[in-house]
Structure 1
Amino acid sequence: MKKALLAAALMSAGVVAHAQSSVTLYGRLDAGIEYMSGVPTNPNAVGSATNSGNRWKAESGDWGTSLWGLKGVEDIGAGNKVLFQLEGSFNTMTGQGPSNGGLFNRWATVGLSNDQYGTFTMGRMLFISNGVWDFDPFGQSSWSSASLVRGRNWPQSSNNFAYQSPKIAGFDFYGQYALSNATNWNGNNPNGQGREAGAQITYTNSLFQIRGLYDEIRNPGNGGLWGGNVANGGVNSSNTGNGVFSASREYSALVNVFLGQFKIQAAYQAVRSAGANGVVYGQPTTLDHEWGGVTWQATPAAALIAAVYHVNGNNGAGNATIYTVGGSYNLSKRTLLDLQAATVRNSRAANFGLNANNAGNGVATDNPLQGRQQTGVYAGIQHSF
């Protein structure tokens, strides 16, 4: 009897050792103070700004989104793992989460991973256009690669299926495909999500890294590649209403060059809509977006960064350029101080802001007046756990 009990105990121990699992709680808190000029004020009867002023603001997430999450993995043997990730954002200054994004608005995924064949996940996740993060000198801070495409580079995506390949001879592949969950395959529910998809190929070695990325976001209202028409400050209610910035195709070519203490980064993006009709003059249907910058890791703790971002829109939309400098200093492995100063210069027809604001000249958008510039400085602290 004792031998049988001992054998059963050993078998149970073997099962526990074979199917090991772990759950990790992680997060990041980012907070600071921000000064910004060229902030719109004095709205008129239709909500358009008629003047601008300066503003001091307690801000969260300028250097990086404040977030918290859970990651889990279970080793089921033979190189196979079951994994999940839950992640949500919040405002450090107020403690509030996203208004309509749900508790886990960034990640809510479950999937399988194999050492030889790669990783497959399902659920809500950051959309593949966020793949520019690795090639942005400011890591998609509030004033960087998302600003001049009005947030087109950093959305989340629901109903998504994703595959990440293992790295082979320096190459790896990542792809996403998100369903509309509507009777029209591309989307016909204004309150839902249009079909979304994308793929990227990356090559990495010790000297440089290059990435090619393609993605498309469909209009949830009609499944098309155009996000509505904007005229006289109003939005066509049957569409999403932000033109090429909300529904379009995006083609990206990105590069990192590693030179000792220096990292040089550059990118070009072509954003293209299709099927637009009745578009008013000044509303772009195509965008050409590029940037370049350099990071100097002066010491193991201190980094200095400089970058330039530029966008040009067709159909009389004009162009804009962001010039920005900044850096960070690590107080420890988990805590850093950050500083960024930036200015956006608009052509006569443009009104892009430092933040990734929606199109428009209303006070709610935070965009400067048309043809005007906007300047900001942000200083903060970020802690990760």
Structure 2
Amino acid sequence: MSLHKAGTLVIASVLASACADANAQSSYTLYGSIDESMGYVNNTKGGHAVMMGPIAVPDQFGFKGSEDLGGGTSAIFRLENGYFSNTGSFATAGVLFSRMAWIGLSNERYGSVTMGRQWDLTNEVFTPNANGAVQYNYLAYHPGNIDNAAVTPLSNTIRYASPVWYGMSAHVMYGFADSSTGQGRYFGTDVFYASGPLKLSAVYSDTRNKAYAFNTALGYASFLGQNLAGGSAFRASSTRIAGMAGSWTPNRTWAVHGILNTVRIADAADAAHATTAELGVNWSMTPFNAVVAGGSTTWFNGHAYTTVALSDLYHLSVRTMLYAEATYQHASGGAKAALPSLAPSSTSSQASLRFGVQHYF
């Protein structure tokens, strides 16, 4: 054997040994999901449309990992990006890890502290109980995402998560002003309780200088005196959200989930309130097929937006699912119907039919 080959084998052996030692103490995972669907919308900007794109679960890919530091303490991190399967583009232009980018330390006894780009704590309470998430149907979220029930990442945050104590846990998060978006400081806290088939949670958050796309998302030409013509965003000096959510799963066949929250949006001179009530029911017809139905009403700015949705979710495997969804919204008080991610209707009603395939990896 040549000296070169012998040296190569020694180096390879040392590297393999080092990697084995590292893997014994660390865990790293590449994960994600891809979803593609076709759908029909009866009215978007006054006309019907046939559309493609992800709608079940926002397409995403990410990396997560942990390293055992000893004494019950681990270093943890997560990087996650959103993208659109129909175009291949990033969910947020120019942002590589738009959904999450954080690092921290976790201890079995004392909880965890993480820093970076993380989800608003309202997501932890509302999202798992929202029809939009449970039905794998983004259109079933609430108008304009006023209550942050759909995923709402925040930059420059530090978050503490307590360990679970007799079924209870809590989180506190603070966010510094984000110069890239103009969003001001953030404060949020939530609490969770789980006992058998019952899960309950509550949250409060306060965000300064938050931007809302009320023109493009809801069709508003103005809001609280601010001119929104041309697609201008409304900038709220203060947004306060308080609410509760929960689920009850008495057996493998049935589950009920719901949300109740209120939002106060204010600028320097005035304020408006939004209240949302939501309820959904899951019926697992077989271990592979589930029918999920639900509805919500959001009262906001003198209008009421009522959305009902029905989904059939058929699992081909643990990772792959076929789905068919129907979503309908009716707006009252002179408002135009506006299902999330779609352009507003020209009337008070808007309906969508969609079918597609979802895969996790």
Q: Same fold (TM over 0.5)?
A: yes
CA drift at 1:255: 1.7
Q: Which residue of 2 aligns with 1:268?
A: 260
Unaligned ranges ≥5, structure 2: 1-13, 212-221
For these two proteins, the number of residue pairs brought into alignment is 330
1:301 matched to 2:298: no
User: Would the alpha carbon gap of residues 214 and 220 (structure 1) be closer, same or farther in structure 2, given more than 3 Å must change?
Assistant: closer
Q: How does 1:137-286 map to 2 (within 5 A)?
A: 137-139=131-133, 141-147=137-143, 149-150=145-146, 152-153=148-149, 154-180=151-177, 191-219=181-209, 229=224, 231=226, 233-234=228-229, 240-241=233-234, 247-260=238-251, 261-277=253-269, 285-286=272-273
Instruction: Note if contact 2:261-2:275 (Cα within 8 Å) is conserved in structure 1.
Output: yes
What pairs up with 1:55-94 in 2 under 5 angstroms? 55-60=49-54, 62-94=55-87
**What is aligned with 2:350?**
374
Query: Alignment RMSD, CA only?
Result: 2.7
Runs of 4+ in 1 over 6 A off after TM superposition: none
- Give 1:327 deviation, angstroms: 2.3
Alignment match of 2:312 (pick from 315, 322, 327) = 327
SS at match of 1:259: coil
The match for 1:28 among 17, 28, 33 is 33
Q: Secondary structure at the match of 1:143?
A: helix
Separation in 1, partners of 2:225, 2:84: 30
1:19-42 CA-partner distances (Å, limit 9, x unpaired): 7112110010011101111210xx
2: distance between equivalents of 1:57 and 1:83?
39
TM-score after normalising by structure 2: 0.84
- For 2:142 and 2:235, how far apart are their aligned partners in 1? 15
What residue is the counterpart of 2:5 in the other structure? none
Instruction: Confirm or deny: 8 A CA contact 2:334 2:348 kept in the other structure.
Output: no
Sequence identity of aligned pairs in percent? 27
Q: Counterpart amino acid of 1:257? A: W
Amino acid across the alignment from 1:193: Q
Distance 1:211 1:351, change over 3 A: same
Q: Give the counterpart letter for 1:21 in structure 2.
A: S
CA distance in 1, matches of 2:311, 2:350: 17
Tell me, yes or no, if the aligned pair for 1:267 and 1:290 is still in contact at 8 Å: yes
TM, length-normalised to structure 1? 0.79
**Counterpart Cα distance in 1 of 2:76 and 2:101:** 11
1:204 offset after TM fit, Å? 0.5
1:52-77 superposed Cα distances (whole Å, 9 cap, x missing partner): 111001112x1110000001110011
Q: State the one-letter code of the partner of 1:98.
A: A
User: Is the alpha carbon distance of 1:101 and 1:197 closer, same or farther for their aligned partners in structure 2, counting shifts above 3 Å?
Assistant: farther
Structure 1 residues 306-353: Cα deviation after superposition (integer angstroms, max 9, x where no partner)? 101101124xx3111001111211111111111210110011422241
In the alignment, structure 1 residue 115 sits paired with structure 2 residue 92: no
2:208/2:236 contact within 8 Å kept: no
Letter in 2 for 1:341: A
Q: Which structure 1 residue ranges, 5 or more long, are not aligned?
A: 1-8, 41-51, 182-188, 222-226, 358-365
Structure 1 residue 230: Cα displacement: 5.2
**Cα shift readout 1:163-185 (whole Å, capped 9, x = no counterpart):** 1111110101122111016xxxx
